[in-house]
Every structure is written in structure tokens, then in C-alpha cells.
Structure 1
Amino acid sequence: MNFSSFFQHVLPQKKHYRSLFRPLCLVSFSLLASCSFNEIDSSNDFENNGRDTTALKRESLYLKESLPPGLPYPDASFQAGLQQQIAYLNRLSDKPYLLENTQTSVADLKRVATEIDNWLRYPTQQPQLVAHQLAGQDQRGNVQITGYYVPILSVRHLPDEVYRYPLYRKPTQRNAKGEFPSREEIDFENALAGQQLEIAYTADLVDNFFLHVQGSGVVEYENGEQKLLSWGGVNGHAYRSLGKELIERGEINRANISAQSIRQWLSDHPERNREILSTNPSYLFFSEGPQAPVGAANVPLTPLYSAAVDPSIIPLGSILLAQVPKLDAYGNLIGHEFRLLLAQDKGGAIKGSGHIDWYQGIGEEARFHAGQLKQFGKVWLLLPQHPTPQQLIAQ
């Protein structure tokens, strides 16, 4: 992914399309708890997680519904992001997208973007759209909404006694098995040394890890120069969530898991950093990218409006209606609000219909908000009321 997601990497990776137990959920609290445990990953089954356990279960990926009355009116930054999205769609050749029990096309996505654009220009002209609700993790429409952001990290051009942990470009050399080295081999055995792959050096290997799972970030050199490091590929090893690892080892309670709690645990146990970090052999490389953070759709990301999705479920270039979590200053869920989102990014741990990642922006405030998000909401894919005839797409 061009701009990989952050929080879903450090939190437990979500399991989608699991083989689920299907007990009848009655009003009994114990039965509801049992249903919750079986229908979602246990690491997501915490108090006040925003999940609607009363929603009817269904088998289909998308549930076609009427558009809710009155779309949430976005601010000017959404409109700028929408223009970038339209430009992206205009670069694509038309093609169909088969989405299990429904289908769409590039032409349809263009029509949705145009309908929304016209509505923003002329608010009395309501967009002619249909909402298709995602099944979610539990087939009840519950989608986990996590957050990601772009960190700013202090670095040096050359190593010294403090700044000695390299950020790497992707290597070209593989081992005899045709593989790139694992995290353990790269970070702790210097497997990439001598290949001239170093972009910059940081003062903390844990910072590197969080930048890896974030997928992109701004680095600031000793002379004040700032550069954006973008996603430059991965080593191909299987991903293992640090959050899930720490929960299973009993180190952090699943209700308390967050980016902050994981970072704090690593800070409190420096002697175990190698042991824990190496449980995730997946490793991300960087490239020196453009000035503004961009997503997998190769357009600038818009804070609080861009989202990372699984493109096999939600095509890049789609517009979503989402019921996103509202949190207080302590990260407690206090409600939900509707928001239009732009599907402009993807992530290695964003798989299936049960998880999207919501882009929060650049810097410390964005980091704080991204680190708190892990609750459930609901998501609808917006499509035209009258889809483009498929025979026109083939022409």
C-alpha cells in the first residue's frame, strides 16, 4: 500500500469471513456476550465498543438500502479531496467491479462523485444514490473503524551514537529461497548492511517500528529539512499483530490495548523489545515521496475524510457514508456521527468488510486521535440509483 494503515497493525489484526458459530442471540446478557465473542475477534470484544448486537444477521456482503435523508454536509477540505478523487477516476479506463452480491464500475463511481459534487455546489439538488451497507465483521453491519496518521520523526543523514537505527529503501537482493530478510534479521542482525539502502537514521528502533506500521511519515533532518517517506514495498513475510501478541501473552488487557499502551509497554520493557518486535516478521521499506501524503490511489490524502479500505470490497475511488465513532478526551465512546469518506488508500491488514482505517492527518494531535480509535461503526458504499449498463462498459 502507498500509505499503509497504522492502528490496525499495532492492534490485533482482524479476522474476516471467519467460520462463525451462529447461536440464537436472545435478550439474556450471557447469551449476548456469547454471541459477541463468537462473531468477532475476542480482542475486539471490549466494553462500550460501539457494536450494535441487535442488528439482524444476513449472509450477503452488501445490503441495499435507501439513502438516509440528509447527507452530512462536509467542509471545504472534503471538496478539495473530492476533486482529487474525480481526477483519479478520470485517469482510469472503465471496467466493472464484481462485489459478491452486487457490482459497480468506474463509470458508476464517476457518477457518484459527480452527483456529490453537484450537490455540494447546489445543495437543493439531492444526489440520486443508493446506499449499500457493508456486512461488517459479524454480518450485522458492524465495521471496526481505526485511525491512522502521518508522524513527524527526527532523523539524521548519517549515523552517530544516538541516531543509529536506519530506515531502508527496498533491497533488490534476495536469499537463496528468493526471500527478503525478516524483521529480526534486518533490525537485529544487520542483514541489509553494506547495500547502500539507508535513507536516514533515527534515535529509537520503536519509532522505526511505528513508522513501518504507519506506512508513511514526515522526517526532519538535523538542518531542518523535511521529507515525506512513502510506502516503498514490504519484505513479503507474514504479518503478526503486536497488539494481539501482547494480549495473548497477558501483558496488556484487550480493553486497554491502544497505540499508546503498546508504546508504553515497549518503553517499560526495553530488554524484551527484540523478543516482541521480532514476533512480527513483516517489514516495510520506504521511498522518498512527494511533499503531501498520498494514498494508494496516488492522490493527496484529506484529513478526516480519506479512508483506507480493502479494494476487493470497496473499490478505490468510491465514496462512503460512514457512521463513525465519537470519542471523549479519554478515548471513551460517547456516540456516533455520520460522515462522508473518500476511499483513497488501502492497507495490508485491511481485509474484508469488517474494517476500515480513517485518516486523521499529520503530527501529534492526529497521532493522539488515531491511537484512540478502535470502535465499531457502520459503513455504506454509495452507488447510483441507475447503474451504467454493463454493455456500455465493454465498449
Structure 2
Amino acid sequence: MIISIKQFTSSFDVSRSRLATYICLITLFINGCSTNEIDHSNDFKNNGRDANALKRDALYLAESLPPGLPYPDATFQFGLEQQANYLNKISEQTFALEQLTTSVSDLKVVTTEIQHWLENPKHSPNLIAHQIKGQDQRGNVQITGYYVPIISARHLPDSQYRFPLYRKPTIRNEDGTFPSREDIDFKGALTGQGLELAYTDSLIDNFFLHVQGSGVIEYEDGEQKLLSWGGVNGHAYRSIGKVLIEKGEIDRKDISAQSIKQWLIEHPERQQEILSANPSYLFFSEGPNKPIGAANVPLTPLYSAAVDPSVIPLGSILLAQVPKLDANGDLIDHEFRLLLAQDKGGAIKGPGHIDWYQGIGEDAHFHAGQLKHFGKVWLLLPKQRQ
């Protein structure tokens, strides 16, 4: 009998949920059950978090690979080929991931096993799934979305298009960093160094382009050029969404890229205050025609993901339980997908967050802006390692 992945996971989670509930009821009379296990900005109604899952200390929990893997569409094959190209280019190395150790050779085996499965769905991949402990140590990983925007730009500045997009400087501060966002955008720290790649008409659009990591700029003559990730200034990333929640400006249940952008547009007098709260700044490089991730391979919409390489090595293949949202951005279900760890980002730190690539343009923008919900993530590795 073939058991679906959803049936497998549901039956497994039910038993764990009951155990966690019993433990919680017992400890309630002693210490009370803490619900403050995630950042308060993510603690909104219907956020997709499984609060009853069994809590654990280990970063990875080894589980049998359930039968009935989610079969991807044809575009996944392109992404898998890019994955293989990346792994073949980098040198053999070992990744020490807390209690788990893996290697480039292991990741190549996973890629080959998935390729064999795609060619022959009756083939059972000889793999094991290692669940990531998540933000709350219960396996709940926040899954946000990112995309590649298309932004109107000019080669030279004028009265409207006066906000520059920069390539990476060569001169650093004494502490090894580059100037902060406030110094660059509001105090002209990079002016006159010849680092400008293009000029836009919106500092807000520039900010979100920094958050996305790459984007397409379109000049007045219709020419389009892709700007890719070109490095960061070395300052710590801080979410301005969290800042706006903490200041009581946007309710946590309403926070999204769209609501943040609208707030900034409606409060021009506070743009410097809020934007500067995130001192991290991203620089760009002029890249090829397709968006490139940190693994230096083209990204595949709905299959590429940005991860923290200290938790999930670049070149890994993931099994993920991702949120399904309705047109209003409300969670209606989860679905299983295979994802390719091909990118990283300044906001993606630790085992509690991955960023799911949605594609290019406004449709991708809409879907990326709505995603902020929890799901679950498994790192796939060769079974014979056990």
C-alpha cells in the first residue's frame, strides 16, 4: 500500500501532538506552559505554527523519508541541473552542522538520487530526512518569500531619478565594515566615488530591492539590466517590519511587504527614522540575464530557497511543508515541495527561517509579500550515513 506524504506526516504529528499536550497539561499546574517561543512579531492568528509538536534540543531530527515524495513540475529539472553544476564546481569539503556532519559528496548523492527518481518515479530514493528544529525547537520554520522586482531607472540622475544603486566600495571603515544605511542613503557617504550603477525615483523601492537581493532595472529606452547580489556593508540586519510592530504602527497580523511600503509612503517625514533602523545595506553587481543566487547559479521560481548555510549547506535539497495562502494572504493549508538551497540572505539566520523564491515581476511580488507563515523543513541526506 502506498501511503501519501500527508497521511504519513499527519499520523506522526498526531501522536507527538497528544504527547506534547499531556506534558503541557501536567506542567501547567507547576510552571505554566510558555507560549512565548517565537518572536512576538510572528505570533499572529493562523500563522501555521504547530504549537503542540514535541519540543527538542537537537538541531536535526532524523526521520524516515516518507513514501510519495511531491513530484515537481518540469521547471524543477532546470534547477536540479544548476544544483549539480554548483556541486561539481566547488571543492570537496565537510560541513559540521551541530550534531550532524555532511559533505559535498553527500549532497551530490542526494542530487543523483532525486534525478533517478525523476526519471523513474518507481525508484525509491535511498535518502533520510533530517527535520530542522525551527524557531521554537518544535520544527516550526518561518517561510517568507522573495522575488526579483522590475524597477524604472536612469543612467544619469535628474530631479526625479536621484536615488542611486551602488556597487560595492573598496574603502572600509576601521572596523572592517562599510558605512551604514543612514550614512549612505541620508548622509551621502558614497557620493563622488563613482560607484553608482543606476538611479531610481524611490528610496523605498531601493530599500526593498536591497531586501530582495537582486532585481531588474528598466531604462527609459526599454533596455533592461539585471542587478545581482554584490555584497553587503557588514552591519547587522534588522527587520523594519518588527520595528513598525514594536512602535505600534502596524499590527503584527497585518505586516507584509505591501503594508510596510504603504506605511512608508504615507509617512515621508519618518522614512529616515524607520529605514535607518536597519543599518544593513546591500550592494549590486551587473549580472547575466537570469537572477543569480549566492551559489552563483540561476534561480528557479518556486523551487529555489535562501537559507543560512551554517544550518543548511548551499547545494542541499530540502523537503518542505510550505504555506498555501488565499488571495487575501490567509493560510488555508500546507503543501509539500522539494526546494533547492541555492541562495542566502542577511535576514536568513539560524534554523527558524528560510526564504522561498517566487520569481520576477508583480505577480511574484504579490505572493512574496504575503508569505510570513510557518511550515516545516527537512534536510535530505544519503541513508547509508546512518
Query: How does the TM-score come out when normalised to structure 1?
Result: 0.89
Aligned to 1:47: 45
Aligned to 1:19: none
Aligned to 2:184: 186
Partner Cα distance (1:93, 1:275) in 2? 44
Aligned to 1:134: 132
How far did residue 280 of structure 1 move? 1.5
2:88 to 65, 70, 90: 90
Amino acid at match of 2:161: Y
Answering whether residue 355 of structure 2 is matched by residue 352 of structure 1, we say no
Partner Cα distance (1:377, 1:296) in 2? 23
How far did residue 36 of structure 1 move? 2.6
Amino acid at match of 1:61: L
Partner Cα distance (2:24, 2:143) in 1? 24
Alignment of 1:66-145 (within 5 A): 66-145=64-143
Instruction: Tell me which of the two structures has the higher relative contact order, counting C-alpha pairs closer than 8 angstroms and 6 or more residues apart.
Output: 1
1:216-247 per-position Cα deviation (integer Å, ceiling 9, x unaligned): 10000111111110111112222221111111
How far did residue 186 of structure 1 move? 1.3
Aligned to 1:286: 284
Label 1:306 to 1:179 Cα distance change in 2 as closer, same or farther (>3 A): closer
Partner Cα distance (1:116, 1:238) in 2? 37
1:248-268 per-position Cα deviation (integer Å, ceiling 9, x unaligned): 111111111110110010011
1:108-138 per-position Cα deviation (integer Å, ceiling 9, x unaligned): 1111110100110111111111111111111
1:264-316 per-position Cα deviation (integer Å, ceiling 9, x unaligned): 10011111111211111221111111111011111110000000111111111
Partner Cα distance (2:298, 2:177) in 1? 32
Answering whether residue 35 of structure 2 is matched by residue 36 of structure 1, we say yes
Indicate if the aligned counterparts of 1:137 and 1:143 stay in contact, CA closer than 8 A.
Answer: yes
Partner Cα distance (2:175, 2:115) in 1? 51
2:226 to 223, 228, 242: 228
Alignment of 1:236-247 (within 5 A): 236-247=234-245
How far did residue 178 of structure 1 move? 5.2
Partner Cα distance (2:84, 2:224) in 1? 29
Partner Cα distance (1:154, 1:27) in 2? 59
Label 1:194 to 1:118 Cα distance change in 2 as closer, same or farther (>3 A): same
Aligned to 1:391: none
Aligned to 2:213: 215
How far did residue 25 of structure 1 move? 2.8
Indicate if the aligned counterparts of 2:229 and 2:293 stay in contact, CA closer than 8 A.
Answer: no
Q: Is the deviation greater in 92-101 or in 372-381?
A: 92-101
Amino acid at match of 1:358: W
Segments of structure 2 that go 5 or more residues without pairing to the other structure are 1-22
Aligned length: 365
Alignment of 1:373-388 (within 5 A): 373-387=371-385
Indicate if the aligned counterparts of 2:153 and 2:218 stay in contact, CA closer than 8 A.
Answer: yes
1:133-177 per-position Cα deviation (integer Å, ceiling 9, x unaligned): 111111111110000000000000011111111111111223566
| Secondary structure class of the residue paired with 2:113 | helix
Answering whether residue 193 of structure 2 is matched by residue 195 of structure 1, we say yes
Partner Cα distance (1:122, 1:344) in 2? 25
Aligned to 1:266: 264
Amino acid at match of 1:234: V
Indicate if the aligned counterparts of 1:25 and 1:35 stay in contact, CA closer than 8 A.
Answer: no
2:363 to 354, 365, 388: 365
| Secondary structure class of the residue paired with 2:41 | helix
1:172-213 per-position Cα deviation (integer Å, ceiling 9, x unaligned): 223566542221121112121111111111011111111111
Label 1:232 to 1:238 Cα distance change in 2 as closer, same or farther (>3 A): same
Partner Cα distance (2:170, 2:196) in 1? 13
Q: CA RMSD in A?
A: 2.1
Runs of 4+ in 1 over 6 A off after TM superposition: 27-31
How far did residue 92 of structure 1 move? 2.2
| Secondary structure class of the residue paired with 1:127 | coil
1:318-369 per-position Cα deviation (integer Å, ceiling 9, x unaligned): 1000000000000000010000000111111211111111000000000000
Segments of structure 1 that go 5 or more residues without pairing to the other structure are 1-23, 389-395
1:317 to 315, 318, 342: 315
Aligned to 1:5: none
Partner Cα distance (1:153, 1:59) in 2? 44
Answering whether residue 24 of structure 2 is matched by residue 25 of structure 1, we say yes
| Secondary structure class of the residue paired with 1:118 | helix
Indicate if the aligned counterparts of 1:144 and 1:377 stay in contact, CA closer than 8 A.
Answer: yes
Aligned to 2:11: none
Label 1:115 to 1:177 Cα distance change in 2 as closer, same or farther (>3 A): closer
Partner Cα distance (1:256, 1:53) in 2? 21
Partner Cα distance (2:28, 2:241) in 1? 27
Partner Cα distance (2:260, 2:55) in 1? 34
| Secondary structure class of the residue paired with 2:111 | helix
Aligned to 1:249: 247
Query: How does the TM-score come out when normalised to structure 2?
Result: 0.91
Indicate if the aligned counterparts of 2:27 and 2:33 stay in contact, CA closer than 8 A.
Answer: no
Identity among equivalent positions (%) equals 74
| Secondary structure class of the residue paired with 2:271 | helix
Partner Cα distance (1:238, 1:105) in 2? 29
Partner Cα distance (2:138, 2:229) in 1? 33
